[in-house]
Amino acid sequence: MILSMTGYGKATADFPDKKINVEIKSLNSKAMDLSIRMAPSYREKEMDTRKEINAAVERGKVDFVLWVEKKDCAADATHINQNLVAEYYRQIKDISTNLNIPLPEEWFQTLLKMPDVLSANETSELSDEEWNTTHETIKRAIEQLLEFRKQEGAALEKKLREKIANITQLLNSIEPYEKDRVDKIKSRIQESLSKYLNVEYDNNRFEQELIYYIEKLDISEEKQRLSNHLNYFIATIESGQGQGKKLGFIAQEMGREINTLGSKSNQAEMQKIVVQMKDELEQIKEQVLNIM
C-alpha cells in the first residue's frame, strides 16, 4: 500500500471556558518541511509537538495550527490598570501645581496613553490536565491526516496501476509492426538502388548489409528492459511504504527505454504508439511526486 503526501486532519477539545482547535494539513515536498503555529499558552510544548509530527508524518510540506476560542468574551478584554491610572493622575496634578503647567483638557485620553495602563490579560499557566486533553486532540488530528493519506494513496495506486497496464498494452501492440517494418525497409532500399543508382548489386552482400542495418534498429532489448521496469514498478508499489523516490527513479528508466524505442522505430505506426507511451508515463511522473 502506498501513502499520499496530501492530507488533512482536524480535531477539537472543549473546556468550560474555551475550545481548543487543532488543524494539520500536508502537501508534497522532497523532504520534511514543518511549520507550527500554537496559541501562546501552548508554545512551551512546541518542541514536543514538532517531534511527534515529524515521527508520524515523515515527509511533506506540513502546516500545523493550534488556536483557542474563548467562550467568555469578557475574558479577552484588555485590562485597564486602575491603580496605575490613579497614580498617574496624582503625579500629573502635582506636576501641574509645582511647575504651573495647565492640566490636560482630556484627562481620560491622556491617562490611557500612559505606559502600561492598558495590557492584555496575562496568559494562564498550562496545567497538566489541560495539556493531556490537548495532546490527545493533537494525536486525533494527526490520525485523521494519516487516514486521509491512506485514502489518497489508494486512489493514487489505482491510477498508477492503470497507467502501467496501458503502457504494457501499448508495448505489446508494437510487435505486429516489427516484421512489417523490416519488409518495408528492405523494399525501400531495393527500390532506391534500382531507381536512383541503376546499378546491379550482389544479393548476398545486400542481405548482409541489410542484416547489419536492421540490427541497429532492433528493439528487442529495449522492449525487454521496459517490460522489466514495468514489473519492477508494480512490485515496488506492493513492497510497502516510503517508496515515492524509488518509483520516480524507475519512471526515469522507463522514459529512457521509451525514448530509445522512438528513435529506433523508423515507422509511423510505431512512433504513434511511442507517443502514447510517453503520455501515459508523464501522468505517472506527476502522480509519483505525491507519493511518500
Q: What is the CATH number of the domain that holds 46?
A: 3.30.230
The reply to whether 1 falls in a domain is: no
Reported as a pLDDT band with limits 50, 70 and 90, residue 266 is: confident
- Work out the burial of residue 78: count CB atoms within 10 Å of its CB; fewer than 13 is exposed, 13-18 middle, 19 or more buried: exposed
Q: Are residues 145 and 88 part of one domain?
A: no
pLDDT at 249 over 80: yes
Cα–Cα distance for residue pair 90/73, rounded to 1 Å: 33
pTM flag (> 0.85): no
* One domain, residues 220 and 105: no
Give me the mean pLDDT over the 270-284 stretch. 95
Asked if residue 246 is part of any domain, the answer here is yes
Number of domains into which the chain is organized:
3
Structural domain contains residue 194: yes
Same domain flag for 13 and 144: yes
Residues 156 and 145 placed together within one structural domain of the fold: no
Range from 88-97, 122-131, 277-286 that averages highest in pLDDT: 277-286
2 domain residue, yes or no = no
Q: What is the pLDDT of residues 163-199, one digit of tens each?
A: 999 999 999 998 888 777 766 766 666 666 666 556 6
9-23, 64-78, 86-100, 277-291: range with lowest mean pLDDT: 64-78
Q: What is the pLDDT of residue 258?
A: 95
- 267 and 190 together in one domain: yes
How far apart (Å, rounded) are the C-alpha atoms in residues 204 and 278?
A: 39
Is-contact 144 264, C-beta < 8 A?
no
Same domain, 113 and 143: no
Based on the domain organization, do 132 and 14 belong to the same domain?
A: yes
Give residue 122's pLDDT. 47
Are 164 and 52 in the same domain?
no
pLDDT of residue 142: 97
133 located within any domain: yes
> What single letter denotes the amino acid at residue 40?
P
Same structural domain for residues 201 and 247? yes
Using left for φ > 0, alpha for ψ between -120 and 50, and beta otherwise, residue 248 falls in alpha
Residues 211 and 250 in one domain: yes
Q: Are residues 195 and 170 in the same domain?
A: yes
Reported as a single tens digit per residue, the pLDDT across 98-118 is 888 888 888 888 887 788 777
- What percentage of the chain has pLDDT greater than the value 70? 82
Does residue 90 form part of some domain?
yes
In the chain, DSSP assigns E strands to 7-14, 18-27, 32-38, 60-70, 79-80, 118-119
CA-to-CA distance for 62 and 53, rounded, in angstroms?
Answer: 9
Q: How far, in Å, are 171, 183, 272 from residue 214 at the CA level?
A: 20, 10, 20
- The boundaries of the domain holding residue 97 are 78-119
pLDDT for the residue 211: 64
Asked whether residue 16 is domain-assigned, the answer is: yes
Q: Is residue 193 part of a domain?
A: yes
Q: For 212-222, how does the pLDDT look when each residue is reduced to its tens digit (9 = 90+)?
A: 666 667 788 89
Please state the rounded mean pLDDT for residues 236-240: 86
Do 55 and 172 share a domain, yes or no?
no
pLDDT category, 255, cuts 50, 70, 90? Answer: very high
